[in-house]
Structure formats: structure tokens, C-alpha cells
């Protein structure tokens, strides 16, 4: 196989987590070696549907996902599981960005394939930590909010770049430092070490979203700031949650004025 889009679809469709990780690492290695490349004559992407995933975890509305304290091993396992579920979704989101949006620069495909490879590594680290805590992926209920946004933005690359990496995934930059502090209070250094790696590397993933969102806006003659705010309103009703991790978001390509606007929107939500 030399067609990157077909390889991305294989990764996306894989149901077994271990197989998804294996295919993801193999596709990234093949892209780096030049064995895979975007094929501009490839068939158009299929309409978006559910990605490949195991039968568990059970997906429930976000409000039905229980909130557990971190004072027990069960509570800490539930937190690790929630992050693992985000990372599993992020593998699918990155591959869908490669598979679905055609005619983009080679650097675009390289960025998102690299993100998929990182997310697969993150998921593997979290799965190992879950096993150490006596659990596995699928043991706790989860929600499907990330993929639901992928479905809403499947028709428009600009919206996908704006809302998945720069809103939903960027939320991880905001909340992870607080998770780390709460875990430090209960002495869970094993989980902290993993979250610190993820936090550091997710900055680059959100930055890729910023970079390609602005590239799409330039391609289409759109003002990035106005377009981002319009998309927040159109797709999310400006339903933003703060506070924002300003240093991390600045590293990820947001600017001070943009963060001021987001802060004002969050306070008004």
C-alpha cells in the first residue's frame, strides 16, 4: 500500500486498540520513509460514520459519566480511563483529518499522521497505567463528544481545524495542570509522569490545528479571528468553559487578544 488516505482509513477502521496502535505506528513509519504519500487520484472519502472501536467502553451522554474522587485507586483509575478515552478518540480524529480532507499540502498530512502516532503512544502509556491500577480500557463508561464534533465538521476542513484541535483538544491544556496538582496531593507520581508528557506534546497538536486553521482561512480569503468566533457561535453556541491555560495556549498559536476574547465569551456563557 502506497496511498496514505487508504492507510489512514485502515487505522481509522481498526476496532481492536492494539491493532489500531500497530497500524498507526506502521503508517507513520511508512510515511517517514517515503513508502506512503497522498494520492490526489484516490477515491473520494466515504461519508463519516463511527470509527473503529471496541464494544466497550459503553458510550453515554456526558452528564451521565460519573465523577469520582481521586482518594481511592478506583477514582484514580477512572481518571486515567477518561484520559485514555480522549487519546483513543484523538487517534481517530487525526487519521480522519488525513483521510477526509483531500488536496492539502504534504505538510498537513505529515502533521496529522505525526499527531496520530503521538496519540497512539499516549494511549499505550495510559493503558499500561490502567493495568497497574487493576483496570483496562472499557471498564468505565465514557462519552462521545469529540467524535460528535468530528461528524459535525466532516464537510468543512476549516471548521474541523477550528473546533476539534483549537477548542475540544485545547481544553486538555487547560485542565491537565489541575489534574496533576490533585494527583500530586494523593501521591500518584506514576500518573503524573504520563500526564506531563501528554501536556507537553499536546501543545504541538493544538499548534497544528492553529496552523492549518489559519492556512484554510488564507486559502479562502477569511479573517481568522472573525471566522473562529463565528464557528464557535454556529457550532457550539459559544458554549465555552474557562479558565484558559494562557501560557500553553500562547505556545499553541493563540494570541493575547484572541485569549481575551475567549475569556470574555466563557464568562458570558
Per-residue pLDDT of the chain (269 residues; tens, 9 = 90+): 689 999 999 999 999 999 999 999 999 999 999 999 998 888 899 999 999 999 999 999 888 887 878 888 899 999 999 999 999 999 999 999 999 999 999 999 999 999 999 999 999 999 999 999 999 999 999 999 999 999 999 999 999 999 999 999 999 999 999 999 999 999 999 999 999 999 999 999 999 999 999 999 999 999 999 999 999 999 987 678 889 999 999 999 999 999 999 999 888 87
- The pLDDT of residue 1 is 62
- The pLDDT of residue 238 is 63
- Give the range of the structural domain holding residue 249, as residue numbers without chain letter: 72-268
Question: Is residue 154 situated within a structural domain?
Answer: yes
Residue among 56, 64, 80, 20 nearest 139 (CA): 56
Question: Is residue 25 situated within a structural domain?
Answer: no
pTM of the complete model? 0.96
Question: Is residue 42 situated within a structural domain?
Answer: no
Question: Is residue 33 situated within a structural domain?
Answer: no
- Alpha-carbon distance of 96 to 180, in angstroms, equals 30
Number of domains in the chain: 1
- The pLDDT of residue 51 is 97
- What residues are paired with 3 via a beta bridge? 37
The CATH number of the domain holding residue 150 is 1.20.1260.10
Residues with Cβ within 8 Å of 194's Cβ and at least 6 positions away in sequence, in order, are: 122, 125, 126, 129
Residues with Cβ within 8 Å of 135's Cβ and at least 6 positions away in sequence, in order, are: 77, 80, 81
Question: Is residue 208 situated within a structural domain?
Answer: yes
Q: Which alpha helices (H) appear in the chain, and where do they start and end?
A: 4-13, 17-33, 73-100, 106-132, 145-152, 157-163, 171-185, 189-220, 224-236, 246-251, 256-268
Amino acid at each position: 500500500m502506497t496511498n496514505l488516505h487508504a492507510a489512514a482509513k485502515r487505522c481509522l477502521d481498526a476496532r481492536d486498540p492494539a491493532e489500531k496502535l500497530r497500524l498507526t505506528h506502521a503508517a507513520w513509519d511508512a510515511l517517514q520513509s517515503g513508502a506512503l504519500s497522498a494520492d490526489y487520484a484516490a477515491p473520494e472519502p466515504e461519508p463519516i460514520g463511527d470509527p473503529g472501536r471496541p464494544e466497550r467502553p459503553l458510550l453515554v451522554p456526558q452528564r451521565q459519566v460519573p465523577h469520582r474522587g481521586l482518594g481511592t485507586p478506583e477514582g484514580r483509575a477512572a481518571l486515567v480511563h477518561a484520559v485514555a478515552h480522549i487519546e483513543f478518540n484523538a487517534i481517530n480524529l487525526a487519521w480522519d483529518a488525513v483521510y477526509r480532507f483531500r488536496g492539502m499540502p504534504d505538510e498537513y498530512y505529515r502533521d496529522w499522521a505525526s499527531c496520530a502516532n503521538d496519540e497512539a503512544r499516549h494511549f499505550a502509556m495510559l493503558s499500561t497505567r490502567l493495568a497497574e491500577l487493576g483496570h483496562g480500557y472499557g471498564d468505565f463508561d465514557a462519552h462521545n463528544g469529540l467524535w460528535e464534533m468530528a461528524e459535525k465538521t466532516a464537510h468543512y476542513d476549516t471548521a474541523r481545524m477550528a473546533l476539534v484541535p483549537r477548542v475540544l483538544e485545547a481544553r486538555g491544556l487547560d485542565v491537565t495542570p489541575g489534574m496533576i496538582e490533585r494527583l500530586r496531593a494523593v501521591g500518584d507520581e506514576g500518573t503524573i509522569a504520563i500526564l506531563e508528557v501528554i501536556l507537553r506534546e499536546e501543545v504541538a497538536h493544538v499548534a497544528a490545528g492553529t496552523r492549518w486553521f489559519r492556512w484554510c482561512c488564507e486559502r479562502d480569503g477569511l479573517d481568522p479571528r472573525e471566522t473562529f468566533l463565528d464557528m464557535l457561535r454556529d457550532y457550539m453556541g459559544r458554549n465555552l468553559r474557562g479558565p484558559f491555560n494562557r501560557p500553553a495556549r500562547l505556545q499553541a498559536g493563540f494570541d493575547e487578544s484572541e485569549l481575551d476574547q475567549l475569556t470574555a465569551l466563557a464568562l458570558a456563557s
